[in-house]
Amino acid sequence: MTNTIHWRWPLYALLGAGAALALHRTRSRHHRQRQMQHGQIRELQSLRWEVNGQHMHARVATGAARLGTLPAVMIHGLGVSGAYFIPAAQRLATEFDVYVPDLPGHGLSDTPEVQPDIPGLAQALIDWMDCTGIAKACLVAHSMGCQVAVEAALRHPGRIGRLVLIAPVPDPAARSTLQQVGRFAMGGIFERPSLVPQVIKDYLRMGSRFVPEFHDMLAYPIEAKLPDIASPVMLIRGEHDAIAPQSWLNEAARLLRAAPPVVIPRWGHAVHYSGADQVAAAIRPFLGGLPSA
């Protein structure tokens, strides 16, 4: 009898966790519906474009932009897709045309025969903008996506308005694989649990191509590129982000001759997901060309 009870406890725990997750998803769905009814968020469409013979996928919301604002293009990080930008994008879409592409080889975009390096991803972004008819855009980028945004701004300065760099990488003081893995492991407790299944799904889809992209990310000399950016830049990090620490963001601000980084309390590296409300509120005035509050 005792053994039967012991055997059942893991099953009960698993069923309880599943029920809790289902309840959380139901509540989240109802909360999103209320937000849409009150005009606090807008839904995104899933669209595809053919770019240089390959299809690129993006999540898009247009039609509610304030007069005179540029579109906001949101660029995801290493190995993932644009899906984790959805919460922030939905909030920004009430005032801006918003585009969240999956870079080549990521998410729902086609996989090229050879995974592009950082300059290649930047060029793919510009080519995709050509196909969508976006003449000029502000870029909102996260983690490795900041490298893509920086490269695009340097190679095509006339196409890029303002830049928002959220948790740019790598910290020059932590360029080894061991340091990066250690910092990544430290930060998981400061993210929303709902981020985990999305990231795992994206990593599994990326497969072995993750490894060369990781090394491209580590090798990219972002600190040498920042001083040459002509666009206005805003820096953001989560309070508990071990991957993009305060010391590195302060140095990035110095190199850019930009304002001090905005620090969002409570959250870690994926602050744009976990703290979507705070991040959207912080960057909305900057994207609109207004003074920050």
Tens-place pLDDT, residues 104-137: 999 999 999 989 999 999 999 999 999 999 999 9
Identify the band that residue 183 occupies on the pLDDT scale cut at 50, 70 and 90.
Answer: confident
**198 and 169 assigned to the same domain:** yes
Q: Higher pLDDT residue, 185 or 288? A: 288
Mean pLDDT of 163-174: 97
Q: What's the residue count for the chain?
A: 293
Residue with tokens 């579109």: 71
Residue with tokens 């989560």: 238
Q: With contact defined as beta carbons under 8 Å apart, do 180 and 218 qualify?
A: yes
Looking up residue 122, the CATH number of its domain turns out to be 3.40.50.1820
Q: Higher pLDDT residue, 290 or 156? A: 156
Average pLDDT value for the chain? 90
Q: In this structure, what token pair is assigned to residue 43?
A: 């839904």
pLDDT at 292 over 60: no
**59 and 119 assigned to the same domain:** yes
Instruction: Tell me, yes or no, whether 292 lies in a domain.
Output: no
**95 and 223 assigned to the same domain:** yes
pLDDT at 2 over 80: no
**111 and 81 assigned to the same domain:** yes
Counts of helices then strands in the chain (DSSP H, E): 11, 8
What are the tens digits of pLDDT across the range 247-291?
A: 999 999 999 999 999 999 999 999 999 999 999 999 999 999 754
**21 and 46 assigned to the same domain:** no
pTM to 2 decimal places: 0.87
Q: With contact defined as beta carbons under 8 Å apart, do 34 and 25 qualify?
A: no
**207 and 226 assigned to the same domain:** yes
Q: How many domains does the chain have?
A: 2
**30 and 123 assigned to the same domain:** no
Which domain range does residue 22 map to? 1-38
Residue with tokens 């980084």: 261
State the Cα–Cα distance between residues 171 and 252, nearest whole angstrom.
9
